[in-house]
Amino acid sequence: MSAPGWATDLLAQVCADAGVAPPGLLWRTRRGEHSTGVTRRADGTVAVRAGSDPLDQRLTLLHELAHWLAAPSRRRRGRSVHHGRAFYATAFDLYRRYGIPDADALRLESARYRSSLRHAVALRVPGAATALAEHRAAITRRPRRRWRVLVPEHRVTLERDGRWTVCGTCGQRVVGVNLARMRRSRRPVRHVLMTAESA
Ligand SMILES: [Zn+2]
Ligand SMILES: [Zn+2]
């Protein structure tokens, strides 16, 4: 289906204002409130699957246009920074300039990418610090899980279990930096296996 007029107009406006060639716009619909999008730089397209919420459609298109305007993603420590500070500087700027109120931008963007709140605080988006504090408070208000000792503290003896390295006493997998640290350690490493029960 062809994109609605407001979307083609918005795309043309944003790209004209930024002085960049516009991408092609592919538009489909999806069930549900939220929209999704993807920018394919190599194909020169932005694709949106539009949900039912008009404001979320607009934010989704602007989010993808922020990818389009961004310099091809930099790589840091081998990992491309797709939704980093530079991206959100562009995205929140587009949201503000093209009709998404800050409070809605924070709400809708953080519903997809929780990390956007942290960037929004650093970028001084009005309301971001409050939204982040509320989110943190909501986490601490969640019913606490009670933890119970399943296997009492013991010395770790590394054993192989198929492709994994496990603790020979409790069977817990030991991976990554922990494994490297244990192999290097001259003193025995100790462990306790806890289990969570819902309160
Ligand atoms: Zn994105
Ligand atoms: Zn163990």
Model pTM score: 0.68
How far is ligand 2, taken at its centre, from the CA of residue 5, in Å? 61
Long-range pairs for 27-31: beta carbons < 8 A, 24 or more residues apart? 27/1, 27/2, 27/3, 28/1, 29/1
Q: How confident is the model at residue 141 (pLDDT cuts 50, 70, 90)?
A: low
Tokens of 157: 């003896």
How far is ligand 2, taken at its centre, from the CA of residue 193, in Å? 6
Q: What's the pLDDT tens digit per position in 36-46?
A: 999 998 999 99
Tokens of 76: 């840091």
How far is ligand 2, taken at its centre, from the CA of residue 178, in Å? 12
Q: What are the start-end ranges of the E strands in 60-197?
A: 75-76, 79-80, 146-155, 158-161, 164-167, 190-197
Helix (H, G, I), strand (E, B) or coil at 38: strand
How far is ligand 1, taken at its centre, from the CA of residue 59, in Å? 11
How far is ligand 2, taken at its centre, from the CA of residue 112, in Å? 37
Helix (H, G, I), strand (E, B) or coil at 44: coil
| Ligand with smallest separation from the Cα of 68 | 1
Q: Is the pLDDT of residue 122 over 70?
A: yes
Neighbouring residues of 97: CB distance < 8 A, sequence distance ≥ 6: 17
